[in-house]
Amino acid sequence: MKNLAKFLLFVLVVSVGISLLYDYRLKHGKLELLPRRTSEKYTFASEPAINPKETASLEALNQERRALVKSVIPSVVAVKTSKKIGIRRQYGLGPFEFFFGSPGGQFNGQPDQALVQNSLGSGVVVTNEGHIITNNHVVDQVDEIEVQLSDGRTKKARLVGADPQLDLAVLKIDDPGVKPLKLADSDTVQPGDFVLAIGNPFALQETVTDGIISWKGRPDSTDVRGDLLQTNAAINPGNSGGPLINLRGEVIGINTAIASTTGGSQGVGFAIPSNTVRTALESLLKHGRIIRRYLGIQTRAVRPGQSAGDGDGVVVEEVVPGSPARSQLSRIC
């Protein structure tokens, strides 16, 4: 009890001392108080920098672009996938686990824990029945696929079919209210055409970027990019499977790849042409796989002095039995 009384007395003495010191410094001008703040006068600009009549065409373009984006956004979805990955414990095994293995798994190299890996991509609705086009690499070897619509609803998606070579996949959701976009004729697309890329880059759903068709087709290319549409519209991770849109709100391509030294957009993106998409879609829906055209012949280059004509050519060494070439040859003969 005495200790408590001494403590309270000490606190009282210190408080009185601080108060007296504050009064002394205040009276002798040695304590500086912050000046009282006063409101600042401000006036905002009341007129634009330029007369709107002088930029009427740009404002009309603005309105038209808004209408275009508003009309196509409901057809673009975010594709969300999950995959369970088995992992193995490396440390902290108790004596029971050491001899008999951990619960739910085995010790000898078998996974005893599961890690869920989530990925994001994009897609676009292309049929009234709810078929969605995306990239194969977005949904390849995953356990579960969901799509998020523009109104926030999430739907389970079924994988109808896929083709790694084209990097295309077809999903299906059950929703009678879906709004499909038309697949355009990509053969009519020319460099310089205005385009929009819409998708889910970095999980930022409904992101719109614009640009032009930078190049169309590279017949001398030795890789798959020779068959793709090139665009400078910004395409980033997560845009995969999203549509490339023309001025009529039609799909002219499915965004699939970028050329980048950083992993992000550098203005060189590639899209699968819509005509290729249409052919693949119809083949997958009708046959469950993509049926590719082929001749069925084996050839070799013409050796110098072997050709009787003026032009270059090849020598047909073999016609594969049962192939289209054999069928055509039988008709001629």
Catalytic residues: 137, 167, 240
Three-state SS letters, the chain: CHHHHHHHHHHHHHHHHHHHHHHHHHHCCCCCCCCCCCCCCCCCCCCCCCCHHHHHHHHHHHHHHHHHHHHHHHHEEEEEEEEEEEECCCCCCCHHHHHHCCCCCCCCCCCCEEEEEEEEEEEEECCCCCEEEECHHHHCCCCEEEEECCCCCEEECEEEEEECCCCEEEEECCCCCCCCCCECCHHHCCCCCEEEEEECHHHCCCEEEEEEEEEECCCCCCCHHHHCEEECCCCCCCCCCCEEECCCCCEEEEEEEECCCCCCCCCCEEEEEHHHHHHHHHHHHHHCCCCCCCCCEEEEECCCCCCCCCCCCEEEEEECCCCHHHHHHHHHC
CA–CA dist 256, 166 (Å, integer) = 10
Q: How far apart are alpha carbons 284 and 276 in whole angstroms? A: 12
